[in-house]
Amino acid sequence: MKKHIITALVENNPGVLARLVGLIAGRGYNIETLNVGPTGDPTVSRMTMQVPGDNRVLEQVTKQLAKLVDVIEVTDLTSTPHFNQECLLIKLTSTQEQHEEIMSLAKRFGGNVLAAQPDAVIVQLTGDARHITDFLALLAPYKVMDFSRSGIIAMAKGGRS
């Protein structure tokens, strides 16, 4: 099943998230990632969701989201050229000598080491899903203590909003 990236501008009201998520969950679809954040306008929030599903069904879901009174605009970016980015935070158990390896790996991927303690390092990395998956594959030899991904945010390329 194709993963759809649905992005919506919504009123910054209580209950809006529940309305959108409820509409999707009520149809039996799983939201794989979800990101909610402020925009330049304090009354408006931006939501970005990744939902795997059949094209026709997701078209329906998008239309029904658009019907919600609290939804100002909704776009399925899947078939539009777009950028998507995600942030990863990962805490690894590491000995002093592994610190070096991890730091150079992070540097190669454009990530940052946020903290290096005697027995652990915390790495932050931003990139598209592929970039993050590749990085994680190389971390396989290390023991992961904690792990968090932000879920993707996305933006259409070119002049359209």
**What is the contact surface with another protein in residues (CB under 8 A)?**
10-11, 14-15, 18-19, 22-23, 26, 56, 59-60, 63-64, 66-72
Query: How near is the Cβ of 130 to another protein at its closest, in Å?
Result: 32
Query: How near is the Cβ of 13 to another protein at its closest, in Å?
Result: 9
Residue with smaller CB distance to another protein, 22 or 52:
22
Give the per-residue SS3 of 87-142. EEEEEEECCHHHHHHHHHHHHHCCCEEEEEECCEEEEEEEECHHHHHHHHHHCCCC
**In which element (H, E) is residue 72 found?**
strand 71-76
Place of tokens 């991927």: 109
Query: How near is the Cβ of 67 to another protein at its closest, in Å?
Result: 6
Residue with smaller CB distance to another protein, 59 or 100:
59
Query: How near is the Cβ of 10 to another protein at its closest, in Å?
Result: 8
Residue with smaller CB distance to another protein, 63 or 108:
63
Alpha carbon separation from 124 to 90, 97, 115, 127 (Å, rounded): 7, 20, 10, 10
